[in-house]
Structure 1
Amino acid sequence: MTKKKLIASTTEHFKTIFQNEPEAIFLSPGRINLIGEHIDYNDGFVLPAAINKYICFAVSITFDNEFTLVAQDLNETYRFDWREALKPTDKMWVNYLLGVLHQLKERNFSLKGMHIVFSSTIPMGAGLSSSAALECGFGYVLNKQFNLGLSRQEIALIGQQSEHTFVGVKCGIMDQFASVFGKKNKVIKLDCTTLAHEYHTADLKKYSILLLDSNVKHTHLTSGYNTRREEVEKGLSIIKNRFPSVTTFRACTEEQLNELKNSLGETLYKRCHFVVNEIRRVNEAVYALDRKNIAKLGQLMYETHDGLSKEYEVSCEEVDFLVDFFRTEKQVIGSRMMGGGFGGCSINLVEKGCEETLFKKISQAYFEKFGIQLNRYKVKVSKGTSKMKKKIN
């Protein structure tokens, strides 16, 4: 579905439900991450970008204190008085929104009721951060409609805190930041510790970003994510004890890690080795992008996947198959697992014009191997969360 059709569909659904035109339309994008996986919570740098897959919000302020939230794609509605105590519910999509409102209430903002319908073209569970788009889009809506005066950075942090408190996922800041701060044809080099960021041009005119959705999501995601965090924290503690000058992984060298190989043990050494090298790879990827060295960027993507699969151990057989299959295809510049892991998408940088041929070839091989239908999404680097200047009928 195109952006125009998404806006038209969401607007029409709003009119059907509430018998009125919405006052405003907002778009909140999903995101990709070119490189820098699992280091947003390890004091590293990441290289995300917003993409042209969106959650569309059609909204109006009401004269009472009741919020009516309509999830068009799920055909579900949730109503509540925003002044009452907000607590997590058994509807997960509602919790992302309640968490944002809870953060605003704690800041003593005064609101009114709202009618909101939202619909999405961001595939669920594909690692494109539909949750961050929902949180930040909702925060952006409230900020604009009630003139709260929040900065984009505050909206991103509110989205992150919503996920921590009402959803129970201790996510890093990258997803929310990319959704809110995205710019067309720009990737963001983000320092996840200080939130300092800079934009770099993604000159990919001759290339396409092709996402392959494995259509698997193993149950290890939440438990594996939390375990990895515990492991690297333990590893960093050992490193700091031996090298007091090393306060974060970005200050740690491969030589220091090798000196501590026995103290760390095999598992912690592998986890820390991946983090230290992934931080280096992000810096090298920025250098390559700035010099339009796309071949180098592709090489770094493959290296990242090898680290995620063999050292951080968050990939899975299906996604490894997708990446390995493309290594011998000359039209594929780079490929790697993207997102939390244990399923989800691979992100692939391919020569423009060969997407259909490549997809047909790999989807047939994937189905023969696993009996699973492969999905694909061709995406472009897009602008961040925004209010539409006018409705598109």
Structure 2
Amino acid sequence: MKKKLVKQVTAFYKECFGEKPQHIILSPGRINIIGEHVDYNDGYVLPAAINKYVCFAVSPNEDGKCAIVARDIDGHYEFNVNDELKPVDKMWVNYFLGVLHQLQGRDGLRGFNIVFSSTVPMGAGLSSSAAVECGFAFALNEMFGFGLSKEEIALIGQKSEHTFVGVNCGIMDQFASVFGKKNQVIKLDCNTLEHNYHKADFKDYALLLLDSRVKHTHLTSGYNDRRREVEEGLAVLKQHYPQVNTFRDCTEEMVLAVREELGEVNFKRCHFVVKEIQRVLDAVDALEKQDFATLGALMLETHDGLSDDYEVSCAEIDFLVDAVRNDDNVLGSRMMGGGFGGCSITLVKKDAVDGLIERVSREYKEKFHIALEPYKIKIAKGTTLYTE
């Protein structure tokens, strides 16, 4: 699959620009085992890169022109490397402009040609946007020798999302895309960016993604609302508890004690965040002990919190989780990503995967008249230069 993507992108680059590209970069999408909506709340998360990629074929040029070709949507955008960069109407272009804007003025920057294509599903909550941002920053670093560290590449991707896309995202998606390692998950401290790796060998179990194929329009607005609500809630907690700097300093008892002052909505948001931060620590412990039953139970708890307290799920995703909740072959399942659609992630016995896909697809089609899209994924290496 990876080689096929590289071959297609290389051939299309040659078709567009009449020569072979100098570099091929692969930038993966990501999953998150647990730790949802806490990356912007100074919590811990447990993501991993996966074997679905945005592939970039790139070369520098000498004429100062920048040409970006989106193979999948027949999109094309050109500008000069020294132009004043501002967000444009073509949203896909802004992921590139936001990255380049941060690197303008650096020694060695010249024009370039890029063709890109993706096997990361759009709108499925697998962070195709982070893969684009970080892959492009990696490509510029490779072409022009900027000497950027992995951490700088991830932060450039995040800032691009903030400034040119308008989503005030945390660091998890970009970090996972850049720092991923094969068959390992990353325990990331979203406050300090300290991280360590944990073996992701699920033995007789596999991770299965079920894409609901829906994306409700209030993803961005709902996301920004949640950020505001938790910030308001944290301010109240800090007033009552001077020792609290971030949510990781809070206990569930503290949140319960100021429930009335928080108001019901902000209480629910804060309650979820505090419990989710602890769940990540418990999940790491379970993973180290290979206690997959506990890991699965934590995933289900997370889903219920996302649905009831954080209110970022939707009927379709709740259905997908409930459809497998009592299946003997399933240890856990939950909504993954920003919410209001996207994927569920399920820990299921390897030999039961195909049967589960068949059953849930049928039930989902009957209920919502939507064809479910399953993704059998493996945990893979982060953004990298492709070599044969």
Q: Write out the 4+ residue segments of structure 1 that deviate beyond 6 Å after TM superposition.
A: none
Cα deviation, 1:271-292, whole Å, max 9, x if unaligned, reads 1110000000000000000111
What's 1:193 paired with?
Answer: 191
Write out aligned runs for 1:366-385 (5 A): 366-385=364-383
Report the equivalent of 1:234.
232
Structure 1 counterpart of 2:202: 204
Q: Which residue of 1 aligns with 2:249?
A: 251
Letter in 1 for 2:166: G
Query: Structure 2: which amino acid aligns with 1:212?
Result: L
The equivalent residue for 1:58 is: 57
Match of 2:84 in 1: 85
> Which residues of 2 match residues 292-331 of structure 1 at below 5 A?
292-331=290-329
Give secondary structure in 2 for the equivalent of 1:330.
Answer: coil
Q: What's the secondary structure of 1:354's corresponding residue?
A: helix
C-alpha offsets along residues 28-70 of structure 1, whole Å, 9 cap, x if unaligned? 0000000000000111000000000000111111121111111
Give 1:264's aligned residue.
262
Contact 2:26 2:55 in 1 (8 A): yes
- The superposition leaves residues 89-147 of structure 1 with CA deviations (integer Å, 9 ceiling, x where unpaired) of 111111100111100116x3431111111110000000000000000000001101111
Question: 8 Å contact 2:40–2:190 — kept in the other structure?
Answer: yes
Percent identity at matched positions? Answer: 63
Structure 2 Cα separation of the partners of residues 193 and 221 of structure 1: 24
Q: Which residue of 2 aligns with 1:182?
A: 180
> Following the alignment from structure 1 to structure 2, what is the Cα–Cα distance between the partners of residues 115 and 247?
46
The answer to whether the 8 Å contact 2:108/2:145 transfers is no
1:128 is aligned to: 126
**Equivalent position to 1:284, from 273, 282, 285:** 282
Matches within 5 A, 1:327-346: 327-346=325-344
Is residue 2:271 matched to residue 1:273?
Answer: yes
Distance 1:258 1:109 in 2: 54
Give the drift of 1:325. 0.8
Q: Deviations over 1:69-101 (max 9, x none)?
A: 110001111111111111111111111001111
Q: Match of 2:144? A: 146
- Letter of the 1:39 counterpart: V
Aligned to 1:10: 9
Match of 2:363 among 349, 357, 365: 365
TM superposition shift of 1:205: 3.3
Q: Distance in 1 between matches of 2:254 and 2:17?
A: 63
Alignment of 1:105-120 (within 5 A): 105=104, 108-120=106-118
Query: Superposition RMSD on alpha carbons, in Å?
Result: 0.9
* Mean CA deviation greater in 286-295 or 257-266: 257-266
| Cα distance between partner residues in 1 of 2:32 and 2:43 | 13
Q: Distance in 2 between matches of 1:328 and 1:153?
A: 41
Distance 1:144 1:290 in 2: 36
Give distance in 2, aligned partners of 1:246 and 1:360: 48
The whole-number CA distance in structure 2 between the counterparts of 1:294 and 1:40 is 23
Indicate the residue corresponding to 1:35 in structure 2: 34
In the aligned structure 2, how far is the partner of 1:48 from the partner of 1:313? 21
List alignment gaps of at least 5 residues for structure 1: none
CA distance in 2, matches of 1:267, 1:36: 20
- Separation in structure 1 between the aligned mates of residue 240 and residue 253 of structure 2, nearest angstrom: 13
Deviation at 1:220, TM superposition (A): 1.7
Q: Which consecutive unaligned segments of at least 5 residues does structure 2 have?
A: none
Contact 2:36–2:45, Cα closer than 8 Å, also in 1: yes
| Partner Cα distance (1:77, 1:258) in 2 | 53
Letter in 1 for 2:87: P
How far apart are the structure 2 equivalents of 1:105 and 1:178?
Answer: 25
- Distance (Å, rounded) in 2 between the aligned partners of 1:61 and 1:246: 49
Partners of 1:218 and 1:384 lie apart in 2 by: 29
Cα deviation code 1:216-236 (max 9, x no counterpart): 111221111111111111111
Q: Distance in 1 between matches of 2:6 and 2:120?
A: 14
Aligned twin of 2:23: 24
TM-score, structure 2 as length reference: 0.98
Structure 2 residue 384 is matched with structure 1 residue 389: no
Is structure 2 residue 385 aligned with structure 1 residue 351? no
Provide the rounded CA distance (Å) in 2 between the counterparts of 1:297 and 1:121: 28
CA shift, 1:389, in A, is: 2.2
User: What residue in structure 2 maps to residue 49 of structure 1?
Assistant: 48
Structure 2 counterpart of 1:173: 171
Q: Distance in 2 between matches of 1:149 and 1:129?
A: 25
Deviation at 1:369, TM superposition (A): 0.9
Q: Distance in 1 between matches of 2:69 and 2:118?
A: 12
Deviations 1:128-173 (A, max 9, x none): 0000000000000110111110000000000111111111111110
Which of 178-187 and 59-68 deviates more?
59-68
